[in-house]
Structure 1
Amino acid sequence: MEFFDNHKKLFGTAAVMFVTLTLVVAIMPAIHNQNKNKPLAGAVEPGDDVIKGKAVFIANGCVACHTQQVRNVDMDKVWGSRPGIAADYANIRRTDFWRNTATLMGTERTGPDLTNIGNRQPSQDWHLVHLFNPRIVVKESVMPAYPWLFTIKKKISAQDIAVNVPSSYLQDKESKVVANKDAVYLVAYLQYLKQAALPDGKNAPEFLYKQTQKQLPGNGDNTNAVNGKELFAANCQACHQANGEGLPGAFPSLKGSPVVTGDNLQLYIDIIMNGYDANPGYGVMPPVGTNMRFTENEVAAIVNYERNSWGNKGGEITPEEAKKIMEAIQLKISKE
């Protein structure tokens, strides 16, 4: 019993056992995982702005409402093209010598998952407006506003990044909203969040518990039960709004738009698939269709919904017509 009476031997042995167990249970498996799980070939190393933006993301508690993990269940496929794998988190390194870094996978989705937000919504203009006041772009949003990331100015300089906030959301109609550095860093981090493609020849894990698609009323047979209104709500409504009127000075209106109701369907579908950056006074539209891998059925459904909503009177197109136009656009791009 002398061992238990000798505090040096007792606590010394306990310390050795603690260190040994820490090495075996925690440190060695972590080193093994780090060596085994490498980033995917298409993964991009985060730059300084992205790293600073991640710190802003953490400081503002965004992980409390947003996850960054696409689970392998069917309901999660709206957040990414495939379920998440260990390699997706392999390039997350320590903040510094003393501090580890959070993977920010999260545990709750009060807001949408952000794993692939850089592809779903790459527009800096949209993110800045959304951070200033989420209700501007999503009226039902419960996300808090982050006004401390912005400055209200009477005059802006060439170096300032102005935010296209409608005047109705400002107390002084003549004032301008300017993004602070932290807001720009945070948006850079959000734009960085993209799922990297798997190497050629590697099949993505399939989503489990797939739901069978039901026939939806009012869509006809042309779009194979694809609901254009639901597609619009999921992919377009955040910018163009449910009433199709957009936001003055931020996002253009689709109501009465000559592009939407006109005869140049190639231009219209090209904008859906590849985005648009030639509309003065408005933010850049991302390539929504390409990012979300729209099929001809989905493109036709969105086109038909937009051309026949909010008082618009445009003709409908079939998936076959949409497919021909999509192929012509792709051929044109390949020749350029």
Structure 2
Amino acid sequence: MEFFNDHRKLFTAAFLLFFVLTLFVAILPALHNQQKNAPLPGYEPLSEAAEKGKSIFIANGCVACHTQQVRNVDMDRPWGKRPSVAADYAGIKRTDVWRNTATLMGTERTGPDLTDVGNRQPSLEWNLVHLYNPRIVVEASVMPAYPWLFEYKAFPADSDVVVNVPDAYLKPGKGKVVATEEALQLVAYLQSLKQVPLPDGRPTPEFLYAREKAKAEGGEDAGGLDGGLLYATHCQACHQANGQGLPGAFPSLTESTVVNGDDLELYVDIIMNGYDARPEFAAMPGIGTMMELTPAEVTAIINHERTSWGNSGAQVTEDEIKEIMDFLAQGASE
């Protein structure tokens, strides 16, 4: 009992116990992970602007609603090309000595996961409009607006980045909306969030628990791909659920000569490789190539767009689209 009556022995033993536990449970495993996991080939450290944007991301509480981890379950498939691995986070360093805000994996997904948002939504214009007021581009969004990241100018300078905000969301007589340096830095951080491809030969983790498709009696897929769902995943953010786009920023797909026309090669080329319609509209990235859309998926998207919102374009077949995609891919490789 003398041991328990001597506070020096008691506190020394307690200190040694917790030190040993900390050493073997936390410190040594962390050092082992640092030695075992290295950044993937092709990983790019954050630029100076993106580093500042990360601090703004943290300061505005974005991590409370957005994760940066693609789990290995099928429901996470829209957020990345593959499930996340430890090496995805190996190159991320502490913010400073006092703050260990290195990985922002998050715990709640009120908004979409941002692991690969730099590929999913690389448009500067879309991201700025979305930050100014998310309801402009996503009508049902519950994300708060960040108007303090913007300012009004009656006569913007040539170096200013003017945001195409619809008149209904502007303050009358204030001029045009201009992105501040903080807004541009935050977007730079978001655009830097991209999944790095795994090295050749390394096994890719699988998405588990996929939902089975409905099968016909003969074993064939009865329903096919859902073009509306694919459109909502890859196209709706800019062109809107009603296909009308956003005036001055993203073109309308209703009564579009491309959507309803006969030039399928142009149509597929725009989906796969993007299109720059400046100064009338913002440049469209090559969503099809970045998201590795298959001929079947591109076919489903085109047929959805051609039969929606009053459009009357002829439906296309997967064989037609595959032939065009092969031709475009061959031209790009030459």
Q: TM-score, normalised by structure 2?
A: 0.93
273-282 vs 38-47, which moves further? 273-282
Give a deviation string over 1:178-228, Cα, whole Å, max 9, x none: 111111111111111111111101121111111112369xxxx99971121
Deviation at 1:12, TM superposition (A): 3.5
CA contact (8 A) 1:223 1:318 kept: no
Q: Distance in 1 between matches of 2:123 and 2:215?
A: 34
Deviation at 1:309, TM superposition (A): 2.0
Change over 3 Å in CA distance of 1:66–1:307 after alignment to 2 = same
Equivalent residues, number: 331
Amino acid at match of 1:321: E
Q: Distance in 1 between matches of 2:23 and 2:205?
A: 33
Consecutive aligned runs of 4 or more in structure 1 exceeding 6 Å deviation: 221-224
Q: How does 1:117-136 map to 2 (within 5 A)?
A: 117-136=117-136
Could you tell me which residue of structure 2 aligns to residue 257 of structure 1?
Answer: 256
Change over 3 Å in CA distance of 1:302–1:239 after alignment to 2 = same
Could you tell me which residue of structure 2 aligns to residue 334 of structure 1?
Answer: 333
Q: Distance in 2 between matches of 1:223 and 1:247?
A: 35
Q: How does 1:60-75 map to 2 (within 5 A)?
A: 60-75=60-75
Q: Distance in 2 between matches of 1:43 and 1:74?
A: 25
Give a deviation string over 1:85-132, Cα, whole Å, max 9, x none: 111111111111222124211111111111111111111111110010
Amino acid at match of 1:116: D
Q: Distance in 1 between matches of 2:41 and 2:305?
A: 39
Could you tell me which residue of structure 1 aligns to residue 229 of structure 2?
Answer: 230
Deviation at 1:17, TM superposition (A): 3.4
CA contact (8 A) 2:150 2:178 kept: yes
Unaligned runs of 5+ in 2: none
Q: How does 1:84-95 map to 2 (within 5 A)?
A: 84-95=84-95
Amino acid at match of 2:79: W
CA contact (8 A) 2:214 2:221 kept: no
5-14 vs 29-38, which moves further? 5-14
Give SS of 1:305's match: helix
Change over 3 Å in CA distance of 1:149–1:90 after alignment to 2 = same
Q: TM-score, normalised by structure 1?
A: 0.93
CA contact (8 A) 1:166 1:250 kept: no
Q: How does 1:300-319 map to 2 (within 5 A)?
A: 300-319=299-318
Could you tell me which residue of structure 2 aligns to residue 11 of structure 1?
Answer: 11
Give SS of 1:162's match: coil
Change over 3 Å in CA distance of 1:222–1:175 after alignment to 2 = farther
Q: How does 1:102-141 map to 2 (within 5 A)?
A: 102-141=102-141
Deviation at 1:4, TM superposition (A): 4.1
